[in-house]
Amino acid sequence: MRFQSARYLTRGVDGTVPVETQIRMWEMIERLPVPADYLQIFRLHGGDGVQHITHEQEEPAYSETVSYECADPVTEKIYVIDDDDHCTMLLAAEY
């Protein structure tokens, strides 16, 4: 099974993405109704106190969007990669 290894995040994620949003992204991976691809993609956008997260993967194709009230919504593209030894959450710009 994917995404069962130790979880890490980069300084970019730590300094940009609120902890609540990080936790929600990990939870979205845990709740996947299809087999998890090694690469998970999150598109974050928000404003006016609402954070929107679109979660996608390519194989098998999957997409889900959630929205929730958030004091500090951010706009970023995030990758979560499982390389079998560990899982890393990073900003797309850090890839």
What is 12-35 written as a DSSP string? HHHHHS-HHHHHHHHHHHHT-SSP
Q: What is the tally of structural domains in the chain?
A: 1
17-20 contacts, C-beta under 8 A, 24 or more apart: 17/44, 17/74, 17/76, 17/78, 18/70, 18/71, 18/72, 18/74, 20/70
- Flag whether 1 is in a domain: no
The per-residue pLDDT for range 38-80, each reduced to its tens digit, is 999 999 999 899 999 999 999 999 999 999 999 999 999 999 9
- Flag whether 36 is in a domain: yes
Predicted local distance difference test score (pLDDT) of residue 75: 97
β-pairing, 6-9 vs 76-82, is unpaired
Q: Residue 17's domain is classified under what CATH number?
A: 3.10.450.150
Is residue 43 within 8 Å of residue 61, measured between CB atoms? Answer: no
Mean pLDDT of 10-17: 98
Range of the domain at 48: 6-94
Q: What is the pTM of this model?
A: 0.96
The per-residue pLDDT for range 16-29, each reduced to its tens digit, is 999 999 999 999 99
